[in-house]
Amino acid sequence: MAKIIARVLGGLGNQLFIYASAKALAIRTGSELVLDTRSGFLRDDYQRQFALKHFEVHYREANAFERFDFPMGRGLRHFFRLINHRLPFTRRFYLSDLLLDNKVFIPAMLRYQPWPRTWMEGYWQSARYFKDIRKTLLREITVKSPLSQETEILGNRIRSSNSVCVHLRMLRHFLKGVEMMNEKKTEAEHYIKSMEYIAQRVDNPLFVCFSDAPQSVKSELSSLPFNIIFVTHNKGDERAHEDFYLMTLCRHYILSNSTFGWWPAWLCQHPESIVLTPPINQWDNSNILPSKWIISENVFHTQKNTI
């Protein structure tokens, strides 16, 4: 059996893109899915950790050889990445989108037949890689870890309302202990106008706001004439899966340019769901947005007004 060995890295949203794309390739080709859950986090400047352990995902853990954990292993990985980038896609055994100047969907991935061992490294930020296994992902990308009482209580309220997830990404992360601003920060007008847009189309919406800077968001949005909840009790990456769980319970979505918020919106099974997103130039991949999602600037004109 061929093996698809995917190197997991980045935050939770990107980890899910990596898992879903590798899972789809493994299922299409009858291969074993293997995850390297260690090497991608050894030198992570943001001190992120493997987060898929909180979900019902299924894979085999990579051994030392498969994760290049041996003398000169890092150099060999780098060599494989470079040499394979110069080969025709069908002849590669080390697949990566990290060396592309512009991140786009790679159609050849859907026709690819793996070698006995095929490594994957990158972010693979397009649902086209895995839309054919959506039912499988709906089962597996569910939170299995115990939830706090606050999360359980809030979850019940979200389920029983016309809930709208508002994900405001304010900061990139803490880089070596220093708070870093998001270089592609979404305009405040996007969130405000999107809330108005949904309020005109949904009866009694409950806007549930998630953010990495909740106090800043609260001061900006609390004066709006809407029913708004600010989720502040899940602090840090170790509780991110609880926010993710709450986001998946919502019926509608107002997104930032974050893969963390992208996933609950894509997993949503409410047929009437409205998803509003920032312009594509604020995302890292030009093929990341499903066609049915609404790009906010196509609906209303924004003004230069940032939080």
The mean per-residue pLDDT over the stretch 260-271 comes to 97
- Identify the pLDDT of residue 242: 97
The mean per-residue pLDDT over the stretch 262-278 comes to 97
When pLDDT is cut at 50, 70 and 90, the band that residue 237 belongs to is confident
Does the pLDDT at position 16 exceed 60? yes
Write down the pTM of the prediction. Answer: 0.93
Q: Mean pLDDT score of the chain, rounded to an integer?
A: 92
The mean per-residue pLDDT over the stretch 95-124 comes to 96
Given the structure tokens 């995902």, which residue do they identify? 57
Each residue of 157-193: b (16+ CB within 10 Å) or e? ebeebbbbbbbbbbeebeeeeeeeebeebbbbbbbbb
Query: Positive or negative, the Cα torsion across 28, 131, 172, 222?
Result: negative
Does the pLDDT at position 307 exceed 50? no
Does the pLDDT at position 183 exceed 60? no
Out of 103-107, 153-157, 294-298, least confident range: 294-298
151 closest CA partner among 256, 79, 249, 77? 249
Enter the CATH code of domain 148-298: 3.40.50
- Identify the pLDDT of residue 236: 80
> Who wins on pLDDT, 101 or 167?
167
The mean per-residue pLDDT over the stretch 214-241 comes to 85
- Identify the pLDDT of residue 302: 44
Report in angstroms the alpha-carbon separations of 226 from 100, 204, 207, 248. Answer: 43, 9, 7, 21
Does the pLDDT at position 68 exceed 80? yes
Question: Which residues on neighbouring strands pair with residue 305, listed in sequence order?
Answer: none
Domain residue ranges in the chain: 3-135, 148-298
- Identify the pLDDT of residue 145: 80
> Who wins on pLDDT, 173 or 56?
56
When pLDDT is cut at 50, 70 and 90, the band that residue 218 belongs to is confident
Does the pLDDT at position 38 exceed 70? yes
The mean per-residue pLDDT over the stretch 190-203 comes to 94
When pLDDT is cut at 50, 70 and 90, the band that residue 176 belongs to is low
Other C-beta atoms lying within 10 Å of the C-beta of residue 239:
16
When pLDDT is cut at 50, 70 and 90, the band that residue 45 belongs to is confident
When pLDDT is cut at 50, 70 and 90, the band that residue 263 belongs to is very high
What pLDDT, in 10s, does the model give residues 241-250? 999 999 999 9
What pLDDT, in 10s, does the model give residues 136-155? 999 999 999 899 999 999 99
